[in-house]
Amino acid sequence: MDSFLLHKKLPPNFSVLIPFIRFEKELENELLLSGHTIVFKNNKYFIVAPLDKKPIWAQELLSDCQCIEFSNKAHAVKVLKSFDTLGVYFPTDANTKLADSIRKDLRELSLKRIEFKVPSPFNFKYFAWGLLDSSHLIVCQSPSSQFPLGWHEFKEDKAIPPNRAYLKLWEVLSLGYIHLDKSDIAIDLGSSPGGWSWVLSQFVSKVYSVDKAPLSEKIQQQKNILYTSGDAFQIKPTDFADCSWLFSDIICTPERLLGLVHNWIDNSNVQNFVCTIKFKGDCNFDILKEFLQIQDSRIIHLYQNKNEVTWIRQGNKK
């Protein structure tokens, strides 16, 4: 897209979207399908007409952005120092040398790996800035993400979890997308080698863990994880009458997962779900619409998700 005289083409209170790396195309398709105007895009960021809800495939939404002209580096630094909070720089690809030089003269909010806590206590106020070109800043004083630019790297547990899938549930829990209670009982489908079951076992009283493949030895030892070897599509929801939550990280088509979800909604007491919808190739936006027709549900592309999204429903409890 043409960036010539871009500052003259910006709509008032424009928004900036930062796409997830490697999923820029998905964000573009999502915006096109929803009829939203893209003013400018490159592989680092999109400038769009004002938006108040973060699209699924955006890592960060910066709403109500301002474009501020500056005459030289010292002027840009002065402008950025005039804000009450610390700034976080988002790369735009415009004059990166100048951006680096400005950053050297600023105090910035540093990005540190996050300690897993529920809920996350992190609540620093910050503003986001980037360079539109060599004489214009983009500034957003109200970024949408709790963590700067939607960056969400944890201090990982290298001792117990058998793989890194557990980070998805850490993100869901620490950002308050769901609330679990010790009186809850959960079923975890497609659970092997056991990262999700391990996380869940610390927040609910009992976890039914179902997979064709076994759990890792360490996870099997957890007393409140009850493992069943089997096909998640063959088990009967009526056999798990005490469950209030269903978690699924099964590798299957979105269509098959949707059928499974409806089966559990219709035939069990489970009203609460966290399910990974996995894609082979392009995102199927039509099937996402079908998931979203289920009341009280939402879809998020977690920082920890790859070519997949997370469908979450916290409905009524048992």
Ligand X SMILES: C[S@@+](CC[C@H](N)C(=O)[O-])C[C@H]1O[C@@H](n2cnc3c(N)ncnc32)[C@H](O)[C@@H]1O
CA dist 107 and 103 (Å) reads 8
**3-state SS assignment for residue 100:** helix
Query: Whose structure tokens read 């999109």?
Result: 46
Per CB under 6 A, 213 contacts ligand X: yes
> Distance (Å, rounded) from C-alpha 129 to C-alpha 24?
20
**133 binding ligand X? (CB under 6 A):** no
Distance CA(269)–CA(290), nearest Å, equals 21
In whole angstroms, what is the distance from residue 222 CA to residue 227 CA?
10
In contact, 146 and 111? CB cutoff 8 Å: no
Q: Which of 92, 174, 192, 305 binds ligand X (CB under 6 A)?
A: 192
C-alpha distances out from residue 86 to 83, 129, 137, 208, 285, Å: 7, 10, 16, 45, 37
231 contacts ligand X (rule: CB under 6 A): yes
Stretch in the footprint of ligand X (CB under 6 A) among 43-51, 146-154, 210-218, 220-228: 210-218
Binding piece for ligand X, criterion CB under 6 A, among 80-88, 110-118, 227-235, 259-267: 227-235
Query: Quick one: tokens of 203?
Result: 């927040």
Taking CB under 6 A as the binding criterion, the range among 33-41, 97-105, 184-192, 299-307 that sits at the site for ligand X is: 184-192
Cβ 251 to ligand X, closest distance in Å?
5
Q: Judged by CB under 6 A, does residue 166 bind ligand X?
A: yes
C-alpha dihedral, 184 to 188 to 189 to 194, nearest 10°? -170
Amino acid at 170: W
Q: Select 90 or 311, whichever has its Cβ closest to ligand X.
A: 311
List, in sequence order, every beta strand (DSSP E) within 161-270: 185-189, 206-211, 225-229, 245-248
Residue 45 makes contact with ligand X by CB under 6 A:
no
Choose, by CB under 6 A, the member of 232, 270, 274, 283 that binds ligand X. 232
Residue 251 is a binding residue for ligand X (CB under 6 A): yes
Q: Minimum CB separation from ligand X for residue 259, in Å? A: 12
194 binds ligand X (CB under 6 A): yes
The reply to whether 204 sits near ligand X by the rule CB under 6 A is no
Binding of ligand X by 237 (CB under 6 A) = no
Beta pairing class for 308-314 and 272-278: antiparallel
Any contact of residue 15 with ligand X (CB under 6 A)? Answer: no
Which residues contact ligand X (rule: CB under 6 A)? 163, 165-166, 190-196, 210-213, 231-233, 249-252
